């Protein structure tokens, strides 16, 4: 609007002036062209034909009324289109003289005496034809002068208009430059402030600030979006921090749960009993398994270990438990070698195996089997801990499943493993339970195929 509206006004003014001058110029030019159709030999032709008529010559063709009528028609058209006073006065005189000439011709036609006819020819006809021709030439002179004057006025007015247009354009250009500069500052200044804000964010300044106020809507939206992003970033950092704290607390609680004094006491009692019974090799094997068990539990402080290390840890645990419960438990471990390089949270399988032993097999009071297997499925790793123990009813199974995502103390071991997997890998991973009463229980552990925690 700032540019187009003034330009449209200038164009309309120039077009209007040009159209007005064009119509006026064309009207006068048409008058001059029409007047040019007047017989330049009007006087000579009419005078000669009237002379032949008066003397009753054999060359006479009658009164030259057609020549007079033609002159009258031209004069009448010019009288209707002429606007200038001088030209209008001249053409009005031509029209009046033509009427008089017709009357004088009729008078000569009505006169019988030869002398009177000749006298009327000389005193009336010759004078009237001369006046008609003179006034027609006068009309042409005035119209040509008006045409030339109009052309001069048009050139002068167009020059004045062009000067006005140039001046107006310069004023408009100055106004546009000033407005553009002011508009650019309204855009550039907030963008500079946004750049400084982003630079500060890049250096770690994550304090939420008031959005930069800008007159341009897009810049304001950008500033609002940056502050919203900072707010969400702070929220996500706090959330991640809290999750990390929760994971550390969970790992500590799990580690403390694994270093169960009762398990240690019972294992040491078993070692003492083996020594007293002379089962030195069994005692040595149990001490080695216990040593490996605690070594893999510590894992040099790492929270994420390979599946191979986790398998060795479980194997040590099951070796100890099998020596203690040789009449109650057997175990099998079948994990393909190609899966052992992938990682998982430390102490993931031990709580599941312990749960299978104490809540599944021991409660059935007969010898049972614990089987640990692994397989690849849809770019995921599925670890299965199966026991053929007591199993769970549908109601109890639903309670255990619900406890995986609840904050209850019930099912602490399973819930801790489930939450640690989800915190580390995401919500699509974790534990899945299937159980049938008096048939047994299966716990499926789903983890991604990752070889390093840097991939997460």
Class of domain 246-455: alpha beta
Task: Quote the longest CA-to-CA distance of the chain.
Answer: 188
Are the C-beta atoms of residues 453 and 439 closer than 8 Å to each other? no
Percent of the chain with pLDDT over 90: 11
Cα 373–Cα 268–Cα 309 angle in degrees, nearest 5: 30
CA distance 108 to 34: 31
User: Are 448 and 380 spatial neighbours (Cβ–Cβ below 8 Å)?
Assistant: yes
Assign 237 to helix, strand or coil: helix
Give the C-alpha separation, 66 to 102, whole Å: 10
For the chain, give every domain's residue range.
4-174, 246-455
Instruction: Give CA 220 to chain center in angstroms.
Output: 16
Average pLDDT over residues 94-116: 88
pLDDT-derived band of residue 444, with 50, 70 and 90 as boundaries? very high
State if pTM tops 0.75. Answer: no
CA dist 250 and 241 (Å) reads 14
Q: Which residues have a Cβ under 8 Å from the Cβ of 419 and sit 6 or more positions away? A: 246, 250, 404, 430
**Token pair for residue 415?**
């819930």
pLDDT band at 257 (very low <50, low <70, confident <90, very high): low
**What span, in angstroms and rounded, lies between the C-alpha atoms of 348 and 370?**
16
pLDDT digits (tens, 9 = 90+) for 134-154: 888 888 888 888 878 877 877
3-state secondary structure of 215: coil
Torsion of CA 203, 204, 205, 211, to 10 degrees: 80
Nearest to 303 by CA among 226, 248, 242: 248
State the alpha helices, DSSP H only, in 306-391: 307-324, 350-356
- pLDDT tens, residue by residue, 338-391: 999 999 988 889 889 988 888 888 877 778 899 999 999 988 999 999 999 888
DSSP 359-388: IIIGGGTS-EEEEEEEEEETTEEEEEEEE-
- Residue 342's pLDDT is what? 92
CATH architecture of structural domain 4-174: Up-down Bundle (1.20)
* Residue 387, SS3 per DSSP: strand
Q: Do domains 4-174 and 246-455 have the same CATH topology?
A: no
Tokens of 271: 């070692």
């Amino acid at each position: 609007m700032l540019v187009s509206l003034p330009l449209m006004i200038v164009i309309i003014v120039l077009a209007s002036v040009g159209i007005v001058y064009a119509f006026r110029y064309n009207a006068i030019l048409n008058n001059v062209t029409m007047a040019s159709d007047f017989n330049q030999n009007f006087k000579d032709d009419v005078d000669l034909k009237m002379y032949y008529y008066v003397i009753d010559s054999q060359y006479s063709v009658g009164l030259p009324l057609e020549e007079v009528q033609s002159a009258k028609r031209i004069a009448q058209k010019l009288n209707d289109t002429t606007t200038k006073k001088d030209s209008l006065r001249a053409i009005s005189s031509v029209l009046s003289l033509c009427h008089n000439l017709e009357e004088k011709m009729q008078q000569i036609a009505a006169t019988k005496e030869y002398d009177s006819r000749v006298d009327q020819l000389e005193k009336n006809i010759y004078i009237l034809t001369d006046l008609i021709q003179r006034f027609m030439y006068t009309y042409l002179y005035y119209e040509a002068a008006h045409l030339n004057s109009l052309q001069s006025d048009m050139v002068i007015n167009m020059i004045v208009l062009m000067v006005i247009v140039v001046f107006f354009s310069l004023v408009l250009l100055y106004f546009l430059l000033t407005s553009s500069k002011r508009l650019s500052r309204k855009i550039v200044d907030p963008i500079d402030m946004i750049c400084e804000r982003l630079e500060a964010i890049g250096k770690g300044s994550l304090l939420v600030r008031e959005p930069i106020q800008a007159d341009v809507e897009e810049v304001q939206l950008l500033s609002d979006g940056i502050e919203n992003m900072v707010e969400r970033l702070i929220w996500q950092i706090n959330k991640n921090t809290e999750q990390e704290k929760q994971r550390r607390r969970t790992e500590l609680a799990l580690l403390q749960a694994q270093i169960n004094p009762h398990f240690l006491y019972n294992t040491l009692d078993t070692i003492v009993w083996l020594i007293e019974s002379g089962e030195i090799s069994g005692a040595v094997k149990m001490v080695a398994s216990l040593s490996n068990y605690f070594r893999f539990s510590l894992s040099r402080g790492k929270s994420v270990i390979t599946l191979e290390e986790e398998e060795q840890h479980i194997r040590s645990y099951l070796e100890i438990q099998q020596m203690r419960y040789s009449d109650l438990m057997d175990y099998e471990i079948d994990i393909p070698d190609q899966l052992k390089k992938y990682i998982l949270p430390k102490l993931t399988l031990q709580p599941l195996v312990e749960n299978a032993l104490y809540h599944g097999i021991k409660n059935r009071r007969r010898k049972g089997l614990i089987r640990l297997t692994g397989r690849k499925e849809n770019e995921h790793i599925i670890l299965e801990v199966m026991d053929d123990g007591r199993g769970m009813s549908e109601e109890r199974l639903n309670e255990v499943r619900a406890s995986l995502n609840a904050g209850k103390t019930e099912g602490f071991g399973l819930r801790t493993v489930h939450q640690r997997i989800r915190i580390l890998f995401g919500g699509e991973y974790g534990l899945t339970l299937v159980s049938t009463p008096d048939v047994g229980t299966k716990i499926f552990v789903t983890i991604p195929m990752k070889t390093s925690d840097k991939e997460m």
